[in-house]
Amino acid sequence: MGFIDTLSITASGLTAERVRLQAVASNLANARTTRGVDGGPYVRQLPLIESVGRDFGTELERNLAWAQVTEVANATDPFELVYDPSHPHADDQGYVKYPNVNILNEMVDMMTTARTYEANVNAVETTKQMAHVAISIGRG
């Protein structure tokens, strides 16, 4: 365990938050996309984050956890159905399926992601400062 480990943990957090922001960007951009690659409406993307750690070493080392995006999954909540028979993508009953993206939820996700990213950047700065202090011990 050292400051390098600490920095690598923070880096894993920054990566996880960046992926989360990418998902938000994709969801917002496609909030009204009625045709995706598979012919259906766009499906909300949901990054799954898990903590990964070591199961060996000291108690401290076993308690350190790296954040890892294991998968970007399709959200399973239902699509929004809008009655609009004139829409070219409407089904036989005249309903158009819009993506299961909730703009408000995405905005909240975006804000929490940005704040958490900032907190992690803050952690990098603090770790760096502590390492500098440690290096200069005994220089008088």
Partner 1 sequence: MSALLFDRLHSGLGVVLDLRASQQALTASNLANAYTPGFQARFIRFDTILADAVGATESQGMTRTDALHVGAPGDLPSAPPIEYVDPVPWSVDGNSVTPEREVIRMTENSIMFEATSTGLNRRLALLRFAASDGKAG
Nearest Cα neighbor of 79 from 134, 15, 32, 133 is 32
Contact (Cβ atoms closer than 8 angstroms) between residue 16 and residue 68: yes
We find the least distance from the C-beta atom of residue 35 to partner 1, in angstroms, to be: 31
- By beta-carbon proximity to partner 1, the closer residue of 82 and 111 is 111
Q: How far apart are CA 86 and CA 64, in angstroms?
A: 56
- By beta-carbon proximity to partner 1, the closer residue of 31 and 131 is 131
- By beta-carbon proximity to partner 1, the closer residue of 33 and 127 is 127
Token look-up 């603090």 returns 126
Contact (Cβ atoms closer than 8 angstroms) between residue 1 and residue 61: yes
We find the least distance from the C-beta atom of residue 97 to partner 1, in angstroms, to be: 27
Contact (Cβ atoms closer than 8 angstroms) between residue 43 and residue 26: no
We find the least distance from the C-beta atom of residue 29 to partner 1, in angstroms, to be: 21
- By beta-carbon proximity to partner 1, the closer residue of 26 and 33 is 26
- By beta-carbon proximity to partner 1, the closer residue of 100 and 113 is 113
Give the interface with partner 1 as residue ranges (CB under 8 A): 1-3, 5-7, 9-10, 12-14, 16-17, 20, 49-51, 58-60, 63-67, 112, 115-116, 119-120, 122-123, 126-127, 129-130, 133-134, 136-140
DSSP state of 86: T
We find the least distance from the C-beta atom of residue 86 to partner 1, in angstroms, to be: 40
Contact (Cβ atoms closer than 8 angstroms) between residue 25 and residue 42: no
